[in-house]
């Protein structure tokens, strides 16, 4: 655990919040016009998928917030391998 905070954490939180708000507004604006005539079950599936798709880039974003790199750090040589 780091002892001193970095600028990436508050900036990352702000950017994540702004991106999620923009994503939500785009979905709220355009999805009903595209799928409004579909059945309730099909709409539910679409909204569940759209509600989860933002999680895909989240791991890399959190890596950047913690380490300053977009990829995870390589495992340490001392780490045990799970066989």
Lookup: tokens for 13 = 């939180």
Q: What is the pLDDT of residues 22-69, one digit of tens each?
A: 999 999 999 999 999 999 999 999 999 999 998 988 988 888 888 888
Report whether pLDDT(1) > 70.
no
Please list, residue by residue across 22-41, b when 16 or more beta carbons sit within 10 angstroms of its beta carbon and e when fewer do. eeeeebeeeeeeeeeeeeee
Tokens (6 digits) for 12: 């990352």
In the chain, domain spans: 8-67
Take residue 16 and report the two structure tokens written for it.
């994540």
54, 60, 64, 70: CA torsion to nearest 10: -140
Does the global pTM surpass 0.75? no
């Amino acid at each position: 655990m780091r002892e001193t905070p970095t600028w990436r954490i508050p900036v990352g939180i702000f950017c994540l919040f702004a991106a999620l708000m923009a994503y939500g507004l785009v979905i709220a604006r355009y999805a009903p016009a595209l799928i409004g005539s579909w059945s309730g079950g099909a709409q539910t599936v679409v909204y569940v998928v759209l509600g989860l798709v933002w999680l895909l880039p989240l791991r890399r974003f959190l890596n950047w917030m913690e380490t300053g790199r977009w990829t995870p750090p390589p495992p340490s040589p001392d780490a045990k391998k799970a066989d």
